[in-house]
């Protein structure tokens, strides 16, 4: 009888331990920057660029530079490759000059971006993020680009 009780208790204990037990396995995958992994350029954009290019600043009240969506809109067209875009942004960010600028109205309004020092690879990651992701757009931006804005980020030649 003791043997049967011991056997019954053993079966009960071992069968309870296996029920509902989940086994987890860690598998490393390259970042896809999808829903689960945030692109590192997003945080870098917010940290380094939104100091001046913040999309939440009103169009005509306290803005010191165009929003990043204006830069994306001006630098990217149907033929622009990611590599070309990244190279242009990096070249301008590392040594901003009026000759390299493409937002002529913004240069007239705000001047050329001050030269800054960025850690290695930061501008490349920011440019990659801007190229591959939808970035925040101020509510006033679409009307502004249609020519209704007062400050002018419109695409025009510098004279």
Per the document, the length of the chain is 159
pLDDT tens-digit map of 59-116: 888 899 999 999 999 999 999 999 999 999 999 999 999 999 998 989 999 999 999 9
Flag whether the pTM goes above 0.85. no
Cβ atoms of 41 and 121 closer than 8 Å: no
How high is the pLDDT of residue 8? 59
C-alpha separations of 150 from 74, 88, 133, 139 in Å: 18, 27, 28, 15
- Which pLDDT band, with edges at 50, 70 and 90, does 37 fall under? confident
**Residue matched to tokens 């290019």:** 53
Q: Looking at per-residue confidence, does 16 or 132 come out higher?
A: 132
Residue linked to tokens 């006033």: 140
The 10 Å Cβ neighbour count of residue 126 is: 27
**Cα distances (Å, whole numbers) of residue 134 to 29, 56, 69, 83:** 24, 16, 9, 17
Q: Residue 11 and residue 14: Cα distance in Å, rounded?
A: 5
Average pLDDT, the chain: 80
DSSP string for 19-50: TT-------------SSSS--HHHHHIIIIIH
Domains and CATH numbers, the chain: 39-148 (1.10.760)
Q: Which two tokens stand for residue 58?
A: 């009103």
Q: How many alpha carbons fall within 13 Å on the CB side of residue 110?
A: 25
């Amino acid at each position: 009888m003791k043997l049967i009780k011991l056997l019954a208790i053993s079966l009960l204990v071992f069968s309870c331990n296996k029920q509902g037990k989940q086994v987890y396995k860690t598998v490393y995958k390259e970042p896809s920057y999808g829903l689960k992994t945030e692109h590192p350029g997003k945080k870098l954009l917010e940290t380094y660029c939104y100091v001046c290019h913040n999309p939440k600043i009103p169009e005509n009240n306290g803005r010191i530079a165009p929003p990043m969506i204006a830069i994306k809109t001006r630098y990217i067209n149907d033929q622009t490759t990611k590599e070309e875009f990244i190279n242009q942004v990096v070249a301008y960010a590392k040594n901003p000059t009026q000759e390299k600028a493409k937002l002529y109205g913004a240069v007239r309004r705000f001047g050329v971006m001050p030269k800054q020092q960025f850690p290695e690879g930061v501008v490349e990651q920011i440019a990659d993020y801007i190229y591959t992701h939808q970035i925040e757009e101020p509510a006033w931006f679409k009307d502004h680009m249609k020519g209704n804005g007062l400050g002018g980020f419109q695409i025009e030649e510098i004279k």
